[in-house]
Amino acid sequence: MTEQGPGSSPTLRDVATEAGVSAATASRALNGSTRNVSAEKLALVLRAAEKLGYAPNLSAQATARGSTKTVALIVHDIADPYFSSIAAGAIEGAEAAGLTVTMAVTDRSPDRELEIVSTLRGHRPHAIILAGSRIGDEQDALVGELRAYEAAGGRVAVVSQPGLPYGTVTVDNRRGAEELATALVAYGYRRFAVLRGPDALRTSRDRAEGFVASLSRAGIEVAGRFVVKTDFTEDGGHAAMTGLLDRGLDGVELVFAVNDVMAIGAMRALRDAGLVPGRDLAVAGFDDISAATDVDPALTTVGVPMRAMGLRAIDLALSGRDRSEVVWLPTTVVLRTSTPRRRGEP
Amino acid sequence: MTEQGPGSSPTLRDVATEAGVSAATASRALNGSTRNVSAEKLALVLRAAEKLGYAPNLSAQATARGSTKTVALIVHDIADPYFSSIAAGAIEGAEAAGLTVTMAVTDRSPDRELEIVSTLRGHRPHAIILAGSRIGDEQDALVGELRAYEAAGGRVAVVSQPGLPYGTVTVDNRRGAEELATALVAYGYRRFAVLRGPDALRTSRDRAEGFVASLSRAGIEVAGRFVVKTDFTEDGGHAAMTGLLDRGLDGVELVFAVNDVMAIGAMRALRDAGLVPGRDLAVAGFDDISAATDVDPALTTVGVPMRAMGLRAIDLALSGRDRSEVVWLPTTVVLRTSTPRRRGEP
DNA sequence: TTGAAAGCGCTAACAT
DNA sequence: ATGTTAGCGCTTTCAA
């Protein structure tokens, strides 16, 4: 047993010495060109490395090679199931490619995001994955930062926000919402309310507008006071629903929240008010997070393949393909018991 | 605008040249000892860096300094709300300390975990945080790997599994379960079933045993056939509950699942069988994930401060304090409507 | 096949 | 206060 003093790790040199070869040979043996090293030396080096508990210093490797084995993932909020599912997919993809994932959360702050990208750039990751739609129009600084990163050979992929000049994997939010609206009308619903997120959130806008537009085409209008803006979170949904209740539902039969966590918050608000979701007021969401089937009644929603999105984003970033390719993943309307078929309808 | 060719990033040298100073001065200006550089040069360097869009190469910095600005977080499953909350706390703590988090998921495989620790070691992170209780007794290899890491100056912290020779932040799972049992007995429950996880999972064992032991002290025994082992997941809970239902409840009034996701799975199984959780059979869980208040009836559970655990783990690892210190965080019994008070009880 | 030597981008004595 | 000079641990020519 060769003891290492504190603060020190065995280096390649140590391994080389132990094996009685040069550092160059040790390096070759331990990775890259295994072809050019004799079987005996190879064995010697491997044994030495094993004995010393050698772990290559990835930072040194990176400086020498000029490239790292990491990919950076940026999400708004990792505790949100939407993002954690995307992250799970991304991590799966990255690990399959032998890469390590570094992660940062923006807390939905554009400033923070910019700062993060800037820091991350220093890590020289293979790729940077931006998950979650950007907010506001201060994108210039962000794009500038990313441009610099790309110019230096980095790859960028974006999840869920088409419109940035990078490889993107997304779903057609507008179309998904339209299909949901159509299905709901077919179920006999005629009077709707919509809980949407901040104006600047592209995802929220697309979903809300698609929903309303589709209804409109069916000859159904949603009164302005029944479209309420709130936070893109469960508490936001709860607050908005409570407000709606206070002001009076006035015949509204179904409330559509632009994402599941908001919808679940709204359901909670209904229960808090002594109402039964699904029976007294139908509720629909968007995303199909796993909680959608945990709540009672189970939530009608539009399925978004979050995990696959994370996975594909990694693929997209890693495959040196055409920048700014857009991968559209399919959504699926999932009708559950939170939106029962209305009496008297087919 | 100075354009950089692809594959290249401006280096400290470039900045120094641009500013007309030496690399050393540029280095000093850009970080560390700002004190020892004149205001003018400082401004010059800063301006040059800005102009070139300079981002320090963290790998190079790390090799030169011999230490990185990262901490590695290892979780079983990032899509699980328990772990994503811990991760959120850890990331918050790390970012506050100016550190970047790298993350890996084990998928609950001890082999994978070992492999991960080994790879991560190469990154020379400031600290490694192990979240989630270890499985099985193949800990020797893991501990060996961690020992080597520590010997080289790394810090290790563990979340939720006391017993490893490292700084640990955890809750008293046994005691939490005992208190829950006591509260439930006070509510008038007398006949229980327990859904527990794999034997080797310490957390599961502590909770299940604590619960049963507490009941036993109150003169209540849980028949062996009403203690069922299953996966530590929602599907596990669903399957176990379904099985229990098939075999007959035989008067059981309440089922305690050793974590919330299992409990929620069990509730779903009840509904699938046409039963009403809370009314036909009371259900209790452990953790108090946010979904616990989303389900209906809201889930009785034992609150675990997951986010705080992640945060404290970072603190623990970063504060150079006594290795193997154990931080106990408090749990709180939260009685909700999934376990209504039984008739005829005080 | 192997080793010597140069260099990756940065930091940290050591001089001045 | 600033520049010079060695490294940090590893990879990769280039010769041998």
Cα–Cα–Cα angle for A125, A72, B145, rounded to 5 degrees: 85
Number of H helices, E strands in chain B: 12, 12
Please give the pLDDT value at position B1: 38
Counting one residue from chain A and one from chain B, the pairs whose CB atoms sit within 8 A come to 176
Chain A contacts of B88, Cβ < 8 Å?
A: 77-79, 105
Kindly write down the DSSP assignment for every residue of A2-14, as one continuous string: -PPPTT----HHH
Q: Which chain A residue is nearest to residue B63, measuring alpha carbons?
A: A60
Q: Which nucleotide is nearest to A64 (CA to C1')?
A: C8
Check which CATH number belongs to the domain holding A89 and give it.
Answer: 3.40.50.2300
- CA distance readout (Å), B342 to A77, B253, B278, B339: 40, 10, 11, 8
Q: B3 in a domain, yes or no?
A: no
Respond yes or no on whether the N-terminal peptide bond of residue B297 is cis (omega within 30° of 0): yes
> Within this chain, do residues A199 and A298 fall inside the same structural domain, yes or no?
yes
Q: A2-6, A289-293, A316-320, B81-85: which range is least confident on average? A: A2-6
pLDDT digits (tens, 9 = 90+) for A116-139: 999 999 999 999 999 987 766 667
How far is Cα A325 from Cα A166, in angstroms, rounded to an integer?
A: 7
Q: Provide the CA B243 to C1' C5 distance, Å, integer.
A: 70
> Within this chain, do residues A162 and A250 fall inside the same structural domain, yes or no?
no
Q: Which two tokens stand for residue B183?
A: 């509260």
Average pLDDT over residues A284-288: 98
> Within this chain, do residues A298 and A177 fall inside the same structural domain, yes or no?
yes
> Within this chain, do residues A132 and A247 fall inside the same structural domain, yes or no?
no
Token pair 């399925």 in the structure block, residue: A303
Task: Measure CB to CB from residue B8 to each of A152, A290, A291 and give the nearest one.
Answer: A152
Contact call for B291 and A293, based on CB within 8 A = no
Confidence check: pLDDT of B247 > 60:
yes
Answer for the pair B72, B129: CB distance below 8 angstroms, yes or no. yes
> Within this chain, do residues A288 and A189 fall inside the same structural domain, yes or no?
yes
Contact call for A105 and B91, based on CB within 8 A = yes
> Within this chain, do residues A208 and A293 fall inside the same structural domain, yes or no?
yes
Q: B341 in a domain, yes or no?
A: no
Q: Which chain A residue is nearest to residue B277, measuring alpha carbons?
A: A296
> Within this chain, do residues A324 and A283 fall inside the same structural domain, yes or no?
no
Min Cα–Cα distance to chain B from A217, Å: 34
Q: A340 in a domain, yes or no?
A: no
Chain A contacts of B124, Cβ < 8 Å?
A: 9, 57-59
> Within this chain, do residues A177 and A131 fall inside the same structural domain, yes or no?
no
Q: Which two tokens stand for residue A4?
A: 């290492």
Contact call for A294 and B294, based on CB within 8 A = yes
Side chain identity, residue A123: H
Q: Which two tokens stand for residue B250?
A: 């035989």
Q: Which nucleotide is nearest to B63 (CA to C1')?
A: D8
Look at phi and psi of residue B199 and say left if phi exceeds 0, alpha if psi is from -120 to 50, else beta: alpha
A56 touches strand D (CB under 7 A): yes
A118 touches strand D (CB under 7 A): no
Q: B286 in a domain, yes or no?
A: yes
**C-beta neighbour count of B39 within 10 angstroms:** 7
Give the domain range for residue B144.
Answer: 66-171+307-331
Q: B343 in a domain, yes or no?
A: no
B9 touches strand D (CB under 7 A): no
pTM: 0.93
Q: Which residue is the nearest neighbor of D13, CA to C1'?
A: A24
How far is Cα A301 from Cα B106, in angstroms, rounded to an integer?
A: 31
pLDDT digits (tens, 9 = 90+) for A136-150: 666 788 888 898 898
> Within this chain, do residues B202 and B253 fall inside the same structural domain, yes or no?
yes
Confidence check: pLDDT of B346 > 80:
no
Q: How confident is the model at residue B142 (pLDDT cuts 50, 70, 90)?
A: confident
> Within this chain, do residues A115 and A23 fall inside the same structural domain, yes or no?
no
> Within this chain, do residues A191 and A247 fall inside the same structural domain, yes or no?
yes
pLDDT digits (tens, 9 = 90+) for A169-185: 999 999 999 999 999 99
How far is Cα B145 from Cα A54, in angstroms, rounded to an integer?
A: 10
Chain A contacts of B307, Cβ < 8 Å?
A: 79
Q: Which two tokens stand for residue A184?
A: 């709901």
| List of long-range contacts for B319-326, beta carbons under 8 Å, 24+ apart | B320/B155, B321/B167, B322/B167, B323/B150, B323/B165, B323/B166, B323/B167, B324/B165, B324/B166, B324/B167, B324/B168, B325/B167, B325/B168, B326/B162, B326/B167, B326/B168, B326/B169, B326/B170
Q: Provide the CA A33 to C1' D9 distance, Å, integer.
A: 19
Contact call for B152 and A8, based on CB within 8 A = yes
B56 touches strand C (CB under 7 A): yes
Q: B165 in a domain, yes or no?
A: yes
pLDDT digits (tens, 9 = 90+) for A155-169: 999 999 877 889 999
Average pLDDT over residues A221-226: 96
> Within this chain, do residues A213 and A293 fall inside the same structural domain, yes or no?
yes
Number of domains in chain B: 3
Answer for the pair A301, A334: CB distance below 8 angstroms, yes or no. yes
H-helix or E-strand spanning residue B77: none
pLDDT digits (tens, 9 = 90+) for A288-323: 999 999 999 999 999 999 999 999 999 999 987 767
